[in-house]
Amino acid sequence: MNVVVTREEGKNDALRAWLPPEAVVAEVPLTTTAYIDHDDVRVALEGSHAIGTYRTLVVTSERSAAYVAAALAASAPDVEVYCVGTTTAAALVTRGVEVHAHGEGSALSLVPLITRGPVLMVGATSMRDELASSLRAKGLEVVHVACYETIGVTLGPNDAEMVRHADVLFIGAPSAWAVARPYVMSDTWVVVPGVSTGAVVRSDHQRVIEGWGPQLRTQLDALSQ
């Protein structure tokens, strides 16, 4: 089984741990992260009309964890912290942040849990709108402050060939799928973290597995039989 992991260098160790031992793994980063200067993020937070009153903080990615101290400083003393995914939760706990709850599979799983506004969301410059729209539909004010931008890379011939020959391809976000899509064969299984990215991939690819975690080893073993 040829497996291609596509997160940035140094961020694929957890994925490798979930693979069957006989898997042949190649690493082909599809995106790179441009982090926004911390002072610029702080200025954006301080310029928000709701500064000091945010009662809910949503952290959508582990990439935003380094900015959470500034986000908490801009929030109310009783702010509740929510995040998307166990990886993000672990990154926050490592920084001493108490996580009220974390969503599994999709950011939308947080919608029933969040009841207090205003809501401060920190994440990517181009963030999918489903969560914010759903919270606004509940009557909550939502403010988005960007911490980083995810940029697609241009694949060289060797990396493109590895993607073409993948039996299993990990795709962590729509931005990564946009880079990989021209090279992905119809019989490749694409593994995504949750339903949001899954919906994007399924728009033009049939073989999709949703959910990153230890259970993948059993699922991938079944594919090879």
Please give the mean pLDDT across all residues of the chain: 90
Predicted structure pTM score: 0.77
> Domain 2-30+154-223 maps to which CATH number in 3.40.50.1860, 3.40.50.10090, 3.40.630.30, 3.20.20.140?
3.40.50.10090
CA angle 71, 198, 19 (to 5 degrees): 90
What tokens does 67 get? 């900015």
Domain regions of the chain by residue span? 2-30+154-223, 34-150
CATH number 3.40.50.720 given to 34-150 = no
CATH topology agreement for domains 2-30+154-223 and 34-150: yes
pLDDT in tens, 63-116: 899 999 999 999 999 999 998 877 788 889 999 999 998 877 667 788 899 999
Question: Which of left, alpha, beta for 8 (phi over 0: left; psi -120 to 50: alpha)?
Answer: beta
Q: What is the pLDDT of residues 133-185, one digit of tens each?
A: 899 999 999 999 999 998 999 999 999 999 999 999 999 888 899 999 999 99
Buried b (16+ CB within 10 A) or exposed e, 109-143: bbbeebeebbbbbbbbeebbeebbebbeeeebebb
Q: CA 222 to CA 199: how far, in whole Å?
A: 23
pLDDT digits over 178-222, tens only? 999 999 999 999 999 877 788 899 999 999 998 888 888 888 888
